[in-house]
Amino acid sequence: MTAHPATATRAVTGGPEEDGPELLEHVMGWILVAVFAMLVTRLGLL
């Protein structure tokens, strides 16, 4: 039997060191907030 090497390749899990489309995430977040606010006011929950 052979032991696994200590330098095995690790899967990328999307940690904080990865850069992504930050602008797109911010825009989609604000759109979600606006849609939720419209839904709340239309249903009379506020």
Asked whether 18 and 12 are in contact (CB, 8 A), the reply is yes
Give the alpha-carbon dihedral of 6, 11, 12, 13, to 10 degrees.
-110
Structure tokens at 9: 């390749």
pLDDT digits (tens, 9 = 90+) for 20-31: 678 889 999 999
Query: How far apart are alpha carbons 38 and 42 in whole angstroms?
Result: 6
**pLDDT above 70 coverage of the chain, percent:** 63
Structure tokens at 16: 């904080």
**Which residue from 24, 25, 43 is spatially nearest to 35, judged by alpha carbons?**
43
The pLDDT-based confidence of 19 (bands split at 50, 70, 90) is low
